[in-house]
Every structure is written in structure tokens, then in C-alpha cells.
Structure 1
């Protein structure tokens, strides 16, 4: 069943909004809201996403649940992360948004704001490793805690809708209230805590509370412009050692 039109009208009235006020909040015209509530038109997926974010609902709840009998102000399941805004092209195809280092601080406040995301670069990458129908985002990381992944690398990530989908020990980008963007290997510690580990053993593991985590993104790949350099000194030293060994063998044979 599709309850989108009924839910939209019910949610708007429950929050004492006019059609004009709702339209302004999600960047549409008042006539669009009227058409959606009356079932004369269907909003684009980007608009549905914005509505879900505004009322703190999942897409399934907004579309498939009759909220007139179930709404309590926030029916988002505790183990489900927040629905986030996305960018689409003119063909209504979802784009991959890039969050560079200089924008990571603002992302914490603007992650659910379509206007903020619209200012970030977004692109489409038709490669088989990125599955259609999933939401991806690229985060640029800093620091050396996840070496050999170099500082400044871009991590291609897939949005995690539920904590139950976490893979133990896999690297993830977490958006947290206290630290902002964090790239670590994640281990579940009960239902409400995560143990975060760095690949660089210089850094100690630490625990964060689930309530402190806003978004979780599963790392799928890395793009880096820091090309590895040959270890000239090590190669030279190895050559010297081989020369010394040959000389010692020669002397032993002559002796």
C-alpha cells in the first residue's frame, strides 16, 4: 500500500504547517504540495527524501505505513540510522557527493540539508563495484591512523541504513557528534557501543556510544594521489650487503 499522499497531509497538519510553509522548507511550490496531498502527482525521489528527513522518518515509514494510526512524533526505529538527503541529476539518477577535508566540519551540521549538499561536488561513476540503487558518498580523510591509506585519500563509501548491517572489523567512516568524521575499523560492543581501531598500531583503540554516531558509511574503495616512492636507501643498503657477503665468501674459499 502507498500512503504517501495521506501521510504527507497528516504530517503537515500534525506539525501545524500550511502548504506554503512546508513547500518553503523543502524548496517546492505550494501547488506541488497540494497535488501530492490529493494524489494528483507523485513527488520525485529527492523530494520524498527531503520530506522523510524533515519529519525524521524512514522512506518505508513515510510511504508504506499509515501514520494516521501510528505516528508518535518520531517513529524511526532505534537501530535504524537517519535517512539522509541525496543529490540527483536531470534524469533523477542518484549522484555521488564528495566531502573534501575543507567541507568535513560543515558536513556535521549540514548532512541532512539538501541546500548544503547541493554546494558540494557530485558525480556519477558507472563501475560494477558500485551497485545501482545504493547511496554512495566520498569522504576525504586526514591523519595517518589508517596507514597504509595515506592522508588526503578519498574513501568511497556505501550508506549503512541499519546497525545490524555492520560487518565486524571492516573499515567505516563514522559521522560523530564529538569528533566529526572518523575513519576506523569498527567492532560492535553490545547494542549501544562501538570499538574503533586504527590500522596504525601507534593509535590505541577506543569506544564510542551509539548515541554519538549520526551516520555510518561502509568503506568500499580508496582513491589516492600520493603515489608510493621507491626506497632508494633500502635498495642501496641491500646491494652493499650482497657485495659484502660475496667478499666474505671469496675470502673463506681462499683461506
Structure 2
């Protein structure tokens, strides 16, 4: 028996469905699916993709993690959401930040759950970024000052929708818009309000079912220097907030 066989059998029993039901829903012949559960044959790529979508978890997780030890009830309940790949660390044990470059951004919406795509991303480490799954996303436009076009937002993956705090900033992967960075607030049980810090842009609502991933802002990396014209009341407030957050992180590190 393989870990994959144990995983799909466990997930099927958790859903309380038969092998016939899984076969019908995925389009995989029942005889083939039965062999996958028994470990008699390996599932090809197209079958892995179908099962990943059916059970709402990544292919990597199906193949390499014992899902019986994963608390699925606490995971974010979003349509087509995927559990991320296991957290990567470098030789010093520091979290590895996966960088979504401007070039990679175009393909992220269709490949965010593809292990090969994720493994191909560039990586970096920051000494104060720990305890979580982190990615760096590129900023475009002027909707979220003081973050300039070309900057990167380093964010921590949010597994549970209940961890989203009104008024904080998050990177979202949405079906219709791809990657967006906005200030969030709840709008009932099924919607979120997305707001820009630049008041020129009006807030708007999206259905939670449109959201594929949510990442909480952790820090930013500027790739361009600020010009005098960039200084505004909003940007000054944001800079003080970031300074305070950095000081709190240093204090917590010293306490630890």
C-alpha cells in the first residue's frame, strides 16, 4: 500500500461516498480507481489532477503527506481551494519565501496548485519571517500606497477564513481578477469587501466562492526608491504602522 492509496481511501470514507460515486464524479473508470486505492497501479497525471480537484487538496499533499493527520475541518472552506505544499525551510531552518515574479504572475492563477510550477519559483529568506507558509507577490499600480509599482508583498498563507481580520491587508487570488492586494472586511457570510488605501479607487464586493487563496500581509520589499511626491498623509501613516510592527517583531524576538 502507498501513502497515496491510503490518502484517497481515507478521503473517500470521510466524504462517505462509494468508489462508484468517485469514479462517476471524476470520470475515472471505477476499475482503475479501485486499483489506485489498493495500490495495484499508479495514477497517471490526469487522474491525479482529477482527484486533487475532487478532494480539494494539492497533488503534492496526496502523494507525500498523511492526510489522516490534517485537520480538514479547520481549513479554509472555499470553492476549489487547495491545501498548499508543505512548508519549505533552508539549511538553517528558516522559512523559504516563494517569490511570484512579474513573469510568473501571469501563470499563477492556472498553476497555483501545480507542484512543478511552485517548485520552479525563486526563493528568498528573511530572518524575521517565521512560523508559516510565505510567498512574495508583486505589486502593480497605485491603489495601495505607500507600496509602489514593482514592490513585493511578503504574505503568510491563511488556512481558516475565521483568521481574516477586518481592516487588515491581504493578498487574494481570485478567479476573475487573479492576484489583488487590498484591505479586507466581511460583508455578510458569503462576501468580502475589498478596499484600496488610495481613495481614488472605490471599494467593491466579491463572493467568497470567487476566492482561491488568502495571504496575510507580513512585510514589503521595495524595488524602487521613494520620491518626494510619494509622501502623503496615507503613506506616512502606513510607514509609522510598519515601523511599529517591526519594533514589535524585534521585541518578541528578544523575548523569545
TM-score, with structure 1 as normaliser: 0.64
Aligned to 1:63: 68
Partner of 1:253: none
Q: 1:89 to 1:210 in 2, by over 3 A?
A: same
State the number of aligned residues. Answer: 197
Q: Which residue of 2 aligns with 1:88?
A: 88
Report how far residue 11 of structure 1 moved: 5.4
Alignment of 1:21 onto 2:20:
no
In the superposition, the TM-score normalised over structure 2's length comes to 0.63
Structure 1 109/79 Cα, relative in aligned 2: closer, same or farther at 3 Å?
A: closer
Q: Point out where structure 1 has 5 or more consecutive residues left out of the alignment.
A: 28-50, 68-73, 232-255
More helix by share: 2
Matches within 5 A, 1:183-202: 183-202=181-200
RMSD after superposition: 4.0
Structure possessing the higher radius of gyration over alpha carbons: 1
- Do the aligned partners of 1:159 and 1:218 also contact (CA within 8 Å) in 2? yes
Kept after mapping to 2: 8 A contact 1:87/1:117:
no
- How far apart are the structure 1 equivalents of 2:138 and 2:70? 37
Structure-1 separation of matches of 2:4 and 2:42: 18
Per the TM alignment, residue 85 of structure 1 is displaced from its structure 2 partner at its CA by: 2.4
Show CA shifts across 1:130-161 (max 9, x none): 223x1011001111111221011100100000
Q: Which runs of 5+ in 2 are unaligned?
A: 13-17, 23-32, 49-55, 230-256
Partners of 1:161 and 1:111 in 2: CA distance: 15
The corresponding residue for 1:131 is 130
Secondary structure, aligned partner of 1:222? strand
Distance 1:64 1:6 in 2: 12
Say if 1:100 and 1:86 are closer, same or farther in 2 by CA, change over 3 A: farther
Q: How far apart, CA to CA, are the structure 1 residues paired with 2:156 and 2:77? A: 20
Question: Per the alignment, do residues 61 and 192 of structure 1 end up closer, same or farther by CA in structure 2, a change over 3 Å counting?
Answer: farther
